[in-house]
Structure 1
Amino acid sequence: MCLAIPVRIEELIDAERAMADIGGVRKEINIALVDDLSVGDYVILHVGYALNKLDPEEAARTLALFEELGQLQEAYDEAKAGEGAA
């Protein structure tokens, strides 16, 4: 399964590289496939490459869904761990 995630551009390094905020972690990404980026823009990131710009509201909705999925996974993991203790 492949997953692309929304990330925020924090710093433009050059025409092909930028620093992005990925869940609170700064990482250098390749932006060669996307034109006209500015600090603060959101892009869809897949295996280190920005694929396209993303509307900030859509990015927020998607990130909220990922957060919700993470909470569901934590609850599932806790329930599974509790089954083994019984």
Structure 2
Amino acid sequence: MCLAIPGKIKSIDYQYGGAVRMAKVLFGGITKDASLDMVPHAQVGDYVLVHVGVAISVVDEEEAEKSFRYLQEIGELDELIDASQIDAPNPDTDR
């Protein structure tokens, strides 16, 4: 199943020589990068639905929180949490 996960934009910057507008998006305590090319009007503090690293729409806070809770209840956020643990450097092994 393909899911879009709601998250809050914490910061925005331009990458690849200014060609791509990227955001740091907070997903319940986990921060990931997401392209904002499909939502050029999105701003810091907005909630967006992110699918495979691309923000596909802006949603209000209430809808984002409701969707996040539902996804958490059905176990669809496990992969996001597991991926964040894999991506995080391990000070004991990454020397």
Tell me the TM-score range normalised by the shorter chain.
0.7 to 0.9
Matched, 1:38 2:46: no
Shift of 1:37: 1.5
Match of 1:66, SS state, is helix
Q: How many corresponding residue pairs?
A: 70
Name which of 56, 59, 66 aligns with 2:71.
66
Matched, 1:16 2:21: yes
Shift of 1:20: 0.6
The structure where helix makes up a greater share of residues is: 1
Matched residue type, 1:42: Y
Write out per-residue CA displacement over residues 10-57 of structure 1, whole angstroms, 9 at most, x where no aligned residue: 101136111111231111111111022111101110000000101111
Unaligned runs of 5+ in 2: 15-19, 76-95
Match of 1:33, SS state, is coil
* TM-score, normalised with respect to structure 1: 0.72
Please identify the structure whose Cα radius of gyration is greater. 1
Matched residue type, 1:57: E
RMSD: 1.4
Q: Find the aligned partners of 2:72 and 2:31 in 1 and give their Cα distance.
A: 18
Q: Find the aligned partners of 1:57 and 1:23 in 2 and give their Cα distance.
A: 14
Unaligned runs of 5+ in 1: 71-86
